[in-house]
Amino acid sequence: MIEVSREDFDDLVSDALDELPPELARLMDNVAIFVEDVPPDGEDLLGLYEGVPLTERGDGYLMAIPDRITIYRLPMLGQCDTADDIRHEVAVTVAHEIAHHFGIDDARLHELGYD
């Protein structure tokens, strides 16, 4: 397991967001990104998307609280051995959760190699 401080991990998540294609980043709407140490209720998760995907928002989607993407630091660190491993896993997890924001399900993400 690699050790990465909370601040350095936050920077990795920010870097992953900065590496998104600008045209994709511009399409993200009403979503907030958070970093937490552990998932709720001891779940085995690296990231979690909570909200209404863009593909499911209708005319009644007004004044809604932001969707939430949470990236979980400690489970991810437990799966990685090197700095390159953690940088890669953060980037993949951030992309995976953002894909859910765009309405892409786990089956399609698996086909694309984001699992």
Residue 1 lies in a domain: no
Per-residue pLDDT, 97:
94
Contact 25, 71 (CB under 8 A): no
CATH number of 41's domain = 3.30.2010.20
- Under 8 Å between Cβ of 48 and 75: no
Q: Mean pLDDT by 10-residue block, N- to C-terminus, for the chain (115 residues)?
A: 92 96 87 95 91 85 88 96 95 93 87 73
* 59: in domain: no
Residue 93: domain span? 6-54+64-112
Q: What is the pLDDT of residue 12?
A: 98
Q: Is residue 97 part of a domain?
A: yes
What is the predicted pLDDT for the residue at 59? 79
Distances 87 to 26, 81, 108 between C-alpha atoms, Å: 23, 11, 23
How many structural domains comprise the chain?
1
Would 45 be classed as within a structural domain?
yes
Rounded to whole angstroms, the Cα distance separating 50 from 97 reads 9
